[in-house]
Amino acid sequence: MLIDIRNPLAPAGTAPLAPGSGLGLVGLTERVRLASGQLDHRNAEGEFRLQARLPWPA
């Protein structure tokens, strides 16, 4: 199963929309790895992209 999430990046120099934003990637990575999956994240073309690959049937 592939989960693909994309969000537009905030303009440079702006504050996060919520306190603590962007701090959940470590926990997400741990949980995906516990399920024998893989998590990738990156900034590309003006958006934040997160992809999780899990060994579950779709």
Q: What string of DSSP letters covers 7-31?
A: EEPPPTTPPPSSTTTT--HHHHHHH
- At 21 the pLDDT is 67
Give the bridge partners for 38, in sequence order. 53
Q: Is residue 13 part of a domain?
A: no
How many domains does the chain fold into? 1
Q: Is residue 15 part of a domain?
A: no
Q: Is residue 32 part of a domain?
A: yes
Question: Which is nearest to 48 in space by CA: 22, 13, 28?
Answer: 22
Q: Is residue 48 part of a domain?
A: yes
The verdict on pTM exceeding 0.75 is no
Containing structural domain, residue 52: 1-8+24-58
DSSP three-state, residue 32: helix
Tens-place pLDDT, residues 14-51: 776 677 666 688 889 999 999 999 999 998 888 999 99
Q: Is residue 19 part of a domain?
A: no
Q: Is residue 37 part of a domain?
A: yes
- At 33 the pLDDT is 95
Answer whether residue 58 shows pLDDT above 90.
Answer: no
- At 20 the pLDDT is 67
pLDDT band at residue 5 under the 50/70/90 scheme: very high
Q: Is residue 16 part of a domain?
A: no
* Neighbour count for residue 56 (Cβ, 10 Å): 9
